[in-house]
Structure 1
Amino acid sequence: MKLSTSVLLVLGLVLAGLSAPLRGFGAAPKRDFYQLKIYHLQNQEQEQRLDTYLQQAYLPALHRAGIGKVGVFKPIASPDASAPTPAEQLVFVFIPCSSAEQYLKLEADLEKDKQYQTSGQDYLNAAFDKPVYSRIEAVSMLAFTGMPGFHMPALKSGPAERVYELRNYEGATEKLHQNKVAQFNNGEIGIFKRLNFNTVFCGQVVSGSKMPNLMYLSAFENKADQEAHWKAFGADPEWVKMKAMPEYAHNMLRMDVYLLHPASYSDI
């Protein structure tokens, strides 16, 4: 029997979860599955059409399918007026699934959702010469054992002030990448928690355009708060000790950082 790409992907995710290290005498904790969709847009019209689709069709349909919270984020515009305008606008959609079954059923649930099919017509039936986006990246992730589920950030500032920081860490080899994941599980996540980084998720990428890699998302009240947290992290004695350990040397090859703000209709 020929398995679909989705089935093969989920089987891979399940096997990855089963191969996670045991904690103490018990099995590893149940881990969420995440999808991060990255829409690449060419103009403001596409952004407006995508916003309408996400707000009025996609997010409500995901809620009906059992996804309680969905994050929608956009890059923060540079305050430097002389900075070049990006060739593309990006929109990040974070979808946390609680199980492999839910992850696998999601597309089928949307296909059966008549309300979604009606409210999402402009997006779903877009003409070939008038698409809503130029392309989509889809990143699939398995939550870390040290943070097996996503967390809602506890922020007091308004959505327009908040800064969400998405980081992507690539490893030179699979072994070094696994070593960086272990560094997170063995202390780095704990430091983030102690310093109130409001980490939303930590995910090991199992399918994406940049591998081997991991991604995580932190949330801050504003830009000054973001800078203050990283200053505290860099000076933290536990982190200073950990980053000097030879067993964690050279476990990150390159890093991408995106500073984002939530869309007005984002759940997270």
Structure 2
Amino acid sequence: MYKQLSRRSIGLLICALFFALPITASAAKAGLYQLKIYHLKDSIQQQAVENYLEQAYLPALHRAGITRVGVFKPFGPVEAGGRKLYVFIPLQSFDQLSKLQSKLDADARYQSAGTAYLRAPHNAPVYERIETILMTPFVKAPEAVVPALKNPKPGRVYELRSYEGPTEMISKNKIDMFNAGDEVGLFKRLGFNAVFYGAVVAGATMPNLMYMTAFEDKADRDLHWKNFGADSQWKQLSARPEYQKNVSKIVSLLLSPAAYSDF
């Protein structure tokens, strides 16, 4: 009896120590992803929102226990109507999201640092609109991962992809292709540095899935996709009859990380 209790105690102690460990710099556990997209009119609005994100919002999220937040902007020259900022937030649950605003409201440091943004007048708003997308992580990739890249952030290229399906069932089939079909494993083997994979549960282009990959630069991104198309595993997977015609539209966006982005 004494030995059994001792083993049980040891087991409980090990579990307690494990769950007390902080989240590492390479991964952020989450049960929900939020992608906020700021639509901006001009460089003045962009600078105002970036100041807010860097000086107020990200520090406040960190204090609220959200240790990794990504901020990205379109890669290359800004095109007409293309001035946007993408904020990627891994969350533990819907409950954490529902309680987040009340935490921000009670954070005096956030309220002070974000005054210019939070109290912008009606005739000088700091953004046009905010779009929000919610996603749940794929079973095969349950964590958001900080990519291990060597190139300085200004030269890196992140790719955000959305795969739209013609129906909910067909879109689920494409998600199954990533999970059971191990398309996630294929991306990992080929070194795509995936940041996240998510099934969209709230957004403007449902049904769809989204994922983000990361590369040292544009040439590195192009080479990876060339290798992907020629890979024998991909050819076999994409030829399987159960995975035919499961994507109706692909939207690909090339992004650059902000200097203060955690991803």
TM-score bin (small chain) = 0.7 to 0.9
Give yes or no for the alignment of 1:213 onto 2:208.
yes
Q: How does 1:137-152 map to 2 (within 5 A)?
A: 137-152=131-146
Secondary structure of 2:154 counterpart: coil
The aligned residue for residue 44 of structure 1 is 43
Find the counterpart in structure 2 of residue 225 from structure 1: 220
Gaps spanning 5+ residues in structure 1: where? Answer: 1-29, 79-83
1:27 corresponds to? none
Partner amino acid for 1:196? Answer: G
Superposed displacement of residue 87, structure 1: 2.3
TM-score by length of 1: 0.85
Letter of the 1:55 counterpart: E
Equivalent residue pairs, number = 234
TM-score, normalization by structure 2: 0.86
Q: Distance in 1 between matches of 2:151 and 2:219?
A: 12
SS at 2:141's partner residue? coil
Structure 1 residue 149 displacement after superposition: 1.0
Give yes or no for contact 2:30–2:142 (8 Å, CA) kept in 1: yes
2-side partners of 1:37 and 1:87: how far apart? 17
1:34–1:203 Cα contact (<8 Å) kept: yes
Deviations 1:77-104 (A, max 9, x none): 24xxxxx932240100000012333222
Match of 1:116 among 110, 114, 136: 110
Structure 2 counterpart of 1:77: 76
Across the aligned residues of Structure 1 and Structure 2, the Cα RMSD in angstroms comes to: 1.3
Which residue of 168, 178, 182 corresponds with 2:172? 178
1:195 is aligned to: 190
Q: Which has the larger radius of gyration?
A: 2
Q: Deviations over 1:36-73 (max 9, x none)?
A: 00000000100110111000000000000001010000
CA shift, 1:31, in A, is: 5.5
Number of the residue aligned with 1:97: 91
**Partner Cα distance (1:54, 1:34) in 2:** 18
Distance 1:56 1:210 in 2: 32
Query: Any conservation in 2 of the 1:123–1:132 contact (CA below 8 Å)?
Result: yes
**Alpha carbons 1:171, 1:251 under 8 Å: kept:** yes
Aligned match of 1:156 in 140, 150, 155?
150
Aligned match of 1:32: 31
Distance 2:195 2:92 in 1: 15
Distance 1:153 1:32 in 2: 19
In structure 1, C-alpha distance between the alignment counterparts of 2:114 and 2:204, rounded to whole Å: 27
Identity %: 52
Corresponding residue SS for 1:129: coil
3-state SS of paired residue (1:219): strand
Runs of 5+ unmatched residues, structure 2 = 1-28
Deviations 1:231-264 (A, max 9, x none): 1111111110010111111110101111000011
**Aligned partner letter, 1:267:** D
Q: Does 1:204 align with 2:204?
A: no
Confirm or deny: 8 A CA contact 2:30 2:90 kept in the other structure. no
Shift of 1:166: 0.3
Check whether the contact 1:43–1:88 (CA below 8 A) recurs between aligned residues.
no
SS at match of 1:128: coil
Contact 1:160 1:262 survives alignment (8 Å): yes
